[in-house]
Amino acid sequence: MKKNYRKSAQPSEKKADAASELIRLNRYIANAGVCSRREADKLIESGQIKINGKVVTELGTKVKRSDKVKYQGKILNPEKLVYILLNKPKDFITTTDDPQERKTVMQLVVNAAEERIYPVGRLDRNTTGLLLLTNDGELAERLTHPSYGVQKLYQVDINKPITDEDFAKIEDGVVLDDGSAPVDEIGLVGPERTSLGVSLHIGRNRIVRRIFEHLGYEVVRLDRVMYAGLTKKDIPRGKWRYLSKTEIVKIKHMGQKK
């Protein structure tokens, strides 16, 4: 994996350079797909563009990529939007870079896009499975917000057979230190009673592991097999693919409030 890692610049340096790059506002708006540069000038002059919450009407204004530019209440993105679905392996952390130089998911998608993409939500280091990466900040915010109820399905392998009593407790919703942990569905995978499928929409930190640990079970393997209607079909562990146009439309529709 290391032989594919780019040596030219550290991730933190790249982000700093990208953030400090100045772009003419009309180009920024045009790159976001709103309209042409000439039409963008008209939007600016008529007071329809905000930068960091303030209306800007001066032509020739320049902005940084880190600025928040809004048109009709929506944040604009001056880059081509990219949507990548990764089948995360174990021992990779879900961050864009790591001071301790541990392996991150960004090393698995290093050549996937010229745009700066980042993970939507998190999977802990020992959890495998589906992870979406994108530069669509608006969608990422919606998919990770609890009020949108995005569905996730996990396969959970535990260290001993689950009892009928504990199965029923999870089905009813166990109460953890930070509140109730309701699941949408739970089912057995195979006759041994050590492998289960758990579907839920809550997204609190380590929630699936904590549900089973609360009842005295050790989770020996945790794999996210479905996320917002997307599955791992045809994506081997450690590999990725772009979302199709149909999938993008579908996931954006899913990212709407319930």
Name 156's bridge partners: 196, 222
Distance CA 132, CA 86 (A): 6
Decide if 124 is catalytic: yes
Per annotation, catalytic residue among 124, 172, 178, 184 = 124
Which SS3 state, helix, strand or coil, does residue 44 take? helix
Q: In this structure, are residues 57 and 44 in contact, taking their beta carbons and an 8 Å threshold? A: yes
The bridge status of strand 69-71 relative to strand 49-51 is antiparallel
The structure tokens listed for 82 are 């990219």
The structure tokens listed for 206 are: 């380590």
| Coil/strand/helix, residue 129 | strand
Q: Roughly how many angstroms between the first and final C-alpha of the chain, as a whole number?
A: 41
Between the CA of residue 165 and those of 113, 124, 186, 222, what are the distances in Å? 48, 28, 13, 22
Rounded CA gap, 30 and 25, in Å?
9
- Distance, CA of 117 to CA of 218 (rounded, Å): 34
Four-residue CA torsion sign, 82, 88, 94, 96: negative
Which of 16, 8, 244, 6 lies closest to 109, judged by CA? 6
Instruction: Supply the residues annotated as catalytic.
Output: 124
